[in-house]
Amino acid sequence: MGITMQVLKLVIQCKCVRSIGFPSGQFSRVDNFSTSCQWRARKKVSQYSTVDTERYSSLVREVLSSKTSSQTPNSIEDEDCQLYGPIIRSRPTSQQPKVPKNLHPLLNEAKGQSEYLPGPLARITLKRDPNKTSIPSVTRILQKTMPPDQAFYLERWKRRMIAELGEEGFREYSSNIFRQGKLFHATIEDTFTQETPSKEDHESPAEVSGYIESVSNVLNDITGVRAIESVVDHSALRYLGIVDCVAEYRGSLCVIDWKTSEKPKPSLRHTYDNPLQIAAYIGALNSDHNYNYQVENGLIVVAYKDGSPAHAHFLNSERILPFWEKWLLRLEEYAEK
């Protein structure tokens, strides 16, 4: 009876194999079939099973055991220093905007607005007494307190120019820029001091003819010139400067600053510290007893060598006050150095 039952089970198992599609002669031997007639699918062959594990392990060990790298933060910083100069770390910005410790007024209450009377132009020259402590100029104060980001870009530009022109070529380039600037200012001065009223009749040197052509549209809007290349001294805050021009621009009395540029500067932000310079000159002129009037407005005129129309950035009394406060901060920073 026991043998019969075993044979019967084998027969049933063989029938199950045929029912799932296997030919009857495929299996010559059937081992370990369960009575539940379950068939397990064969596992998929992994694509990584053919990888040479020994060779792969050796490669990984070689990479991980390397002690040097082609680039490191230090090497990258060294390369940047060679290309652009040393990194200038900026100071962390404070949450509250800085306010000058001494908020000195821009205007002088002792002076009033005076009507322009034609007469000799003010041209006060700079006279330094070697026996007295030298008073810093506006230009020097701005240079010594230049923000880190401006100093970074200025130094990077300088290094790039030296790389292109060489040391000697860069010195010659800087000398030419300085000479053209002086010649441009002298030509503007001659334009305002010539006896003939027509500015078009005045011939300008070929070297600055493009700059003069550039500012021709602005010159037509300037009248009532009161001072040219004249020193202004702020005795209370102890600084001085030389204003390019004091005149009326479209009816508003302004301190005017002439600038030259090879690139367009259509926006005031492109003029960097020039608005602070104008504010400093206005404050000094208003404090200086050599001038019996005061000024509330400023004008920055950017002339271009190719003769394209100059950009005139007008700063009324409301716009000039924030730059006056920034100038006072720079002045305090200079005093602390």
What amino acid positions are annotated as catalytic residues? Answer: 244, 257, 259
**What strand order describes the sheet that includes 222-234?**
222-234, 239-249, 252-261, 297-304, 311-315
Burial class (CB in 10 A: 0-12, 13-18, 19+), 161: middle
- Residue 37 one-letter amino acid: C
Sign of CA dihedral 153, 157, 158, 162: positive
Q: In degrees rounded to 5, what are phi and psi of residue 4?
A: -60, -40
Helix/strand/coil percent split, the chain, to 5: 45, 15, 40
Q: Which long-range contacts (CB under 8 A, 24 or more apart) does 4-9 make?
A: 9/35
β-pairing, 297-304 vs 252-261, is parallel
Tokens of 18: 């045929």
Q: Which of 230, 157, 161 is nearest to 193 (CA)?
A: 230
User: What is the distance between the alpha carbons of residues 249 and 140, in angstroms, rounded to a whole number?
Assistant: 28
Geometric angle at alpha carbon 16, from 12 and 17, rounded to 5°: 120
